[in-house]
């Protein structure tokens, strides 16, 4: 079964459950308009669907291993992590002064859910990094 990130479901949740429009485009989230949120969700879905999801099974079939004292990760994991990091997906809601995008945590939660659904074993590292950012802030 092919993974497809549920962008429409997240838009429904944003619009009808959490009231995203009450914070989007206002105050500290001036850049977080509905259009920006939709674009971010769409790009995150593309990464989850095309890059991360194919690694889920591959990680089971070719797990990380210790080889002559060196850890070898599943083929494709390093490149996928690089795509996550370079795309700024780790720091969506982190403050701009720390290199983040300063967007609402709501967007980060949706992106994390998509990426975890696509390949949890790879998404755990960015989740830990987000926790470290949160700890440093407080």
Domains in the chain and their CATH numbers?
7-137 (1.10.540.10)
For residue range 14-36, what is the model confidence (pLDDT) as tens digits?
999 999 988 887 888 888 898 99
For residue range 101-136, what is the model confidence (pLDDT) as tens digits?
999 999 999 999 999 999 999 998 887 777 777 777
Q: Spell out the residues 6+ positions from residue 97 whose beta carbon is closer than 8 angstroms to its own.
A: none
127 forms bridges with which residues in the sheet?
none
Binning pLDDT at 50, 70 and 90, where does residue 1 land?
low
Question: What global pTM score does this model have?
Answer: 0.89
């Amino acid at each position: 079964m092919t993974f497809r990130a549920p962008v429409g479901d997240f838009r429904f949740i944003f619009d009808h459950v959490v009231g995203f429009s009450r914070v989007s485009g206002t105050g500290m989230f001036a850049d977080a308009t509905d259009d920006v949120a939709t674009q971010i969700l769409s790009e995150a879905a593309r990464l989850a669907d095309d890059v991360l999801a194919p690694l889920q099974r591959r990680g089971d079939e070719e797990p990380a291993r210790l080889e002559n004292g060196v850890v070898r990760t599943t083929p494709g994991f390093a490149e996928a992590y690089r795509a996550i990091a370079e795309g700024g997906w780790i720091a969506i809601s982190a403050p701009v002064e720390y290199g983040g995008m300063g967007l609402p945590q709501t967007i980060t939660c949706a992106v994390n859910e998509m990426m975890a659904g696509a390949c949890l074993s790879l998404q755990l590292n960015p989740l830990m990094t987000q926790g470290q950012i949160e700890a440093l802030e407080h």
